[in-house]
Amino acid sequence: MKSASNRRWFAVAIFFIFMLLHQSDKLLIGPLTTPIMNTFGINEVQMGVVFSGAIVIEAIFYPLWGYFYDRFTRSKLLSLAAFIWGATTWLSAIASTFPIFVITRASTGIDDSSYPGLYSLVADYFPPKVRGKIYGLLQLTMPIGYLMGMLLALLLGGVIGWRAVFYLTGSLGILVSIAIFFVVQEAPRGGSEPELADLSQFGKYHFEWKIARGLFRKPSLILILIQGFFGSFPWQVITFWFFRYLEVERGYSSNEIMMTMVVAVLALAAGYPLAGALGDYLFKRTPRGRLIVAASGVLIGAALMFITLQIPIDQKIPFMVMLSINALFIPFASPNVLSTVYDITLPEVRSTANALQNFAEQGGSAVAPTIAGIIAVNSSLKDAILLICVSAWLICFVFFLGVIKYIPRDIQNLRMQLQERAAYEQARQAGQALEERKTTTHPEETFVVAD
């Protein structure tokens, strides 16, 4: 038992490294936006197309990754995703013209949509009552990865150039691919569910179209998908444009950007495990607990973003303080939405459900960087960030209220399905044991007929 526990935590450690380095590579383009624009001689609208291209490809590949993860070995597919990450990043570094760069950078979206299998494995390693904490821990990699990418861009970008930085992070992807292939082990689907955990063995469940279609009959999941369509707009805008906003419109130097973003990103990082822990705490008391945390996060985030961007340019310390407080609440929805998706779906379609969620998020927000670029050209990046972030979070709050209404019923339905599976497996195993006892206690007599 202890050995199995050690293996799952070792796998989580590998996943953390994978996501940290992958997020650093994925988000690196934000801090490198200005040198890339200077290399190809492009404006904000054209750079927005670069950002959007990768998001569109990411959205397209989410359903494919989800389906493959539910059908085949997840650990090996994750290894493949890491290899694709390394290869496509190298291709981006090689690109000699802007059209080629648009295509190669878009290809990096293939591996960006590979996380559903990782989260599905984690769901089979840990029971529902602690998943929020584990997801919050893993999602620390997003802000820390952004911070690492920013430091790489600021410290190395000007010395070795943005192409060499891409060569470095792409090479790390290949190394991570090898580590996952040989180290991470598969887990039985549904093995951590309370209803099935005490069974010595249970049937193997795999993807079925009938069960997958049933996902669209869950009201809470439908509302989560709709809010996800709007929920990623702010993330994309902040990720790709906030660095340039500080640089161009607030007139920050590289050191001032680094200081401001380091403090804000550390606050953002603290928000993930805090949100996961709060969600788990309230979930033990009410099935609506995770959604209460998520809804509170987007509402507070919208209010604080509006206040923060109104602070005058010369008041840098108050701006940094308010930005950091804002950053603490921005990720409150993320680990709780992910945990909620797994609270209402059967183990064999969880990768698919997560992929649908991410497809909705990326499909909706794919145009966000381009829209922000258009608003910036015609007005300012401040207006683009403010308009997109505040309006999107308020829309998400409304849909979270709907999820809060329906979530208890959908959770109860899942628990009943798992209880039925457990009862069936217990009856099947009892029947097998009875047959074995009959065979052992009353062996068939053998008659020897003499000639």
Q: CA-CA distance, 58 to 366, in Å (whole number)? A: 9
User: DSSP string covering 166-197, please?
Assistant: HHHHHHHHHHHHHHHHHH-----TTTTSHHHH
Q: CA-CA distance, 30 to 239, in Å (whole number)? A: 6
For residue 297, the model assigns a pLDDT of: 96
Tokens coding 149: 């990418």
For residue 412, the model assigns a pLDDT of: 94
Tokens coding 353: 């459900």
Q: CA-CA distance, 292 to 296, in Å (whole number)? A: 6
User: DSSP string covering 315-370, please?
Assistant: -HHHHHHHHHHHHHHGGGSHHHHHHHHHHSS-GGGHHHHHHHHHHHHHHHHTTHHH
**What residue spans define the domains of the chain?**
2-187+207-432
Tokens coding 36: 């890339």
Mean pLDDT by 10 residues, the chain (451 residues): 72 92 83 86 85 84 90 92 93 91 91 89 89 89 83 79 88 92 86 70 71 91 93 86 88 86 89 93 94 97 96 94 95 93 91 88 76 88 94 96 96 90 78 72 48 40
Q: CA-CA distance, 448 to 52, in Å (whole number)? A: 82
Q: CA-CA distance, 7 to 276, in Å (whole number)? A: 22
Cβ neighbors of 226 (< 8 A, separation 6 or more) are 360, 399
For residue 445, the model assigns a pLDDT of: 47
For residue 129, the model assigns a pLDDT of: 85
For residue 387, the model assigns a pLDDT of: 94
Identify the H or E element spanning 359. Answer: helix 350-365
Contact present, 248 and 381 (Cβ < 8 Å): yes
For residue 447, the model assigns a pLDDT of: 39
Q: CA-CA distance, 335 to 118, in Å (whole number)? A: 14
For residue 204, the model assigns a pLDDT of: 65
pTM: 0.77
For residue 53, the model assigns a pLDDT of: 85
Q: CA-CA distance, 295 to 29, in Å (whole number)? A: 30
Contact present, 362 and 113 (Cβ < 8 Å): yes
For residue 277, the model assigns a pLDDT of: 93
Q: Which CATH class is domain 2-187+207-432?
A: mainly alpha
